[in-house]
Structure 1
């Protein structure tokens, strides 16, 4: 069997933008946790640390789709040239404010500016793959590969931050994030050969990717998936601690991430004849089942098979969702569409983090795991509604060809 991942990485220019995107995305993930570590260690307030971190996450979620829309109207290099400078300046200002004891409002403001000048790098990378491999069966493998990269970053980012802040300095994690931001975004901006072209201005109009068939429903699905996954993370830690085996939480969550990465690689290597929305609707009930296994686990040992099932379904569900965006969102709004579903996932993760702790405090770890199951069930329902909506839709490529031929 041919190796599709070897083929996509042999595409001219692909290794360069993959590496640049990895570094830039790593900076984004390191920022949230690094901010909590730094602010809490300097001020002694976890409440302020959470507020400052939330300011970054909120403005990123709101502004990054707008930046992606600007990318579709102009080009990646031009937008990245501005965001790299603005983001680096706001990050440096934040570090200076912390170092010199700036007021709380300045930390919140500068953190918000950092989030508001951070583009959705994953969307830019996926748009490059779509540009290079549009119409090729290898595009499916490329989108799967990017989901696996996301999993690697999800594991590597917190580890890097934890090592730096505990072994070097509380500020070290955010200093490295600043370096990764400048290096990754600059490298991506300079790679013009793989950059998607700007579609003729007449196609843009005043519309938005939100008008693409099924996209709002797909965004809701990603919010629910992100919320469920985030609650599972905290719920597992609380559950294992309650049972006197807190150290097992790392193994459980590591197995979940490993299962997701393996499933993503397997899923991307296979050719699929069914449309992505049908695969999404078929995968999410299994995702719900894996989540509910956590909720009914009588002990820590039962968390391990639950982690395997949940991990094996998470990446395929996300890959199918991104494939649906590529299939149904018009090409002149593709980067915006990718950013909307990416930030929807991030909103879900933030929502899960914000609610899981309260549920644990009020009703215990099992209640939090049940709460995750409710969100997973909501994801399965919205995934089904998305599939039903897209069943009647015309793929963007066919729509454009029909418009061209009259």
Structure 2
């Protein structure tokens, strides 16, 4: 196996740190919006149903707004899109806080949360687009960069909820959302200011490019990552329920943290290898491992074995996501890269919301172990669909030209 493009070389890329640091600050609160909303609305309305519904509206509008934001960034540049998004997001989160604390009608909370979700800046997709530009699309370097981004995503999903919970429980119920808005705006502004590392504005090229979702392969990846998102959402709820059923509610964070740790470690290792196999093969292999991992969770007899199984399951998450993000950029035109990334991110978010909702209903009706059937079913359905339609994951004539210009094989190997 050839020597890989290491993380040291990646981080020595000119200008990398100028956008990585502000991007991390802006992405840290990504997982704080939903939890911060739940904790604030629950404190002011004393209704789990209302709190969950308001947070769900933010998740749904984020899924709707993210691809639009990505497409506009491809056409007009990142900074011109980021600045109004940051203003609208910061204002709507502040509005949500004021409305909740003042006892305003519930429908106003839905409106504010919807605006906050729709305007959430898609920093993760923009960072990946910057890596493509900075690395000139070199396949081995891009794979390492996307692995690095996957690890960063996992860290934000672990650290963000912990920070939100700590602030809401020790400072004030609104403190989590205050921090979310502050970090998003400050980090987003600093990121937008780094214009030298931004990808070129595609303008007419992006305007003439087909929408990312018009590509059958992109639609297939969206469906596949709905399954991955269902694993995230269902495990959050199911691990919490299993911990409470065992009389060890405080251990739920540790068990879920082991799941995330498995993903972080696997992502770091996966990106340190220059793979000879195609991204399509790697995606199918990693997704198959995810199916195996999720299929064992429901049968774990205690929290210790569940923690071990969750760690093993997490080992398949990051390789699946890295392969999907690496593959999707070869399926779309140059003027639709950021949009393509946002579709995948949105699919994960929607799958998370669906997975947590279905798992919660099963747990209420049949007990804690029933919730673990949701990640197993979601992953299995995603994998079967991916396997059956894998022929769609080959670049078209138009995108193949882009891929081969970066010295990547024109045809995916099996």
Instruction: Specify the alignment match of 2:7 in structure 1.
Output: 5
Tell me the residue number matched to 1:98: 100
Verify the 8 A CA contact 1:219 1:341 in the aligned structure 2.
Answer: yes
Q: Which residue of 2 aligns with 1:201?
A: 204
Alignment equivalent of 1:130, drawn from 122, 132, 135: 132
Question: Residue 2 of structure 1: CA displacement?
Answer: 7.2
Residues 29 and 156 of structure 2 are in contact (CA less than 8 Å); yes or no, is this contact kept in structure 1?
no
Q: Give the number of aligned pairs.
A: 402
The 3 A distance-change label for structure 1 pair 99 and 240 is: closer
| Greater shift in the superposed pair: 178-187 or 385-394 | 385-394
Q: 1:6-25 counterparts in 2 under 5 A?
A: 6-25=8-27
Residue 191 of structure 2 corresponds to which residue in structure 1? 188
* Correspondence for 1:36: 38
Shift of 1:395: 7.8
Q: How far is the alpha carbon of 1:159 from its aligned partner? A: 0.5
Give the TM-score taking structure 2 as reference length.
Answer: 0.92
- 1:154 maps to which residue? 157
Residue 345 in structure 1 maps to residue 359 in structure 2? no
What is the alpha-carbon distance in structure 2 between the residues aligned to residue 391 and residue 196 of structure 1?
A: 25
Cα distance change, pair 82–388 in 1 and its aligned pair in 2 (3 A): same
Contact 1:24-1:183 within 8 A present in 2 as well: yes
| CA shift digits 1:38-89 (9 cap, x unpaired) | 1111221222211211111111110111111111111001111211112112
Instruction: Single out whichever of 161-170 and 393-402 deviates more from structure 2.
Output: 393-402
- Residues 47-58 of structure 1 aligned to structure 2 (within 5 Å): 47-58=49-60
Tell me: CA distance 1:400–1:204, structure 2 relative to 1, closer, same or farther (3 Å): farther
- 2:249 and 2:90 mapped to 1: Cα distance? 38
Listed one character per residue, the Cα deviations across residues 327-373 of structure 1 (whole Å, up to 9, x for unaligned) are: 22211100000000110000000111111111101111222112321
The equivalent of 1:316 in structure 2 is 319
Contact 2:206/2:336, CA 8 A, preserved across alignment: no
Alignment pair present for 1:285 and 2:278? no
- Unpaired stretches in structure 1, ≥5 consecutive residues: none
Q: 1:66 to 1:147 in 2, by over 3 A?
A: same
Establish whether residue 247 from structure 1 lines up as the match of residue 283 from structure 2. no
Tell me the SS of whatever aligns to 2:134: helix
When structure 1 is superposed on structure 2, of 22-31 and 176-185 the one drifting more is 22-31
Structure 2 distance, partners of 1:239, 1:171, is 29
Matched with 1:169 is: 172
Kindly report the root-mean-square deviation, in angstroms, between the aligned alpha carbons of the 2 structures: 1.9
Q: Which residue of 2 aligns with 1:371?
A: 374
Q: Distance in 2 between matches of 1:21 and 1:310?
A: 28
Offset at residue 101 of structure 1 (A): 2.4
Gaps of 5+ in 2: 406-414
Q: Which moved more, 1:22-31 or 1:217-226?
A: 22-31
**1:158–1:206 distance in 2 versus 1, CA, 3 Å:** same
Deviates more, 1:235-244 or 1:283-292: 235-244
Q: State the TM-score, normalized to the length of structure 1.
A: 0.94
Whether the 8 Å contact between 1:145 and 1:264 is mirrored in structure 2 is yes
Secondary structure at 1:79 match in 2: helix
Conservation of the 8 A alpha-carbon contact between 1:218 and 1:386? no
**1:400 & 1:218 partners in 2: Cα distance?**
18
2:410 aligns to what?
Answer: none
Q: CA deviation at 1:129?
A: 0.6
| Pair 1:23–1:313, CA change in 2 (3 A) | same
The answer as to whether partners of 1:287 and 1:314 remain within 8 angstroms in 2 is yes
Kindly report which structure 2 residues correspond to 1:350-361, keeping only aligned pairs within 5 A, or say none: 350-361=353-364
Counterparts of 1:300-315 in structure 2 under 5 Å?
300-315=303-318
What is the CA-CA distance between 1:147 and the residue it aligns to? 0.4
Q: Larger deviation: 349-358 or 114-123?
A: 114-123
CA contact (8 A) 1:32 1:56 kept: yes
Q: Secondary structure at the match of 1:170?
A: coil
Alignment of 1:80 onto 2:79: no
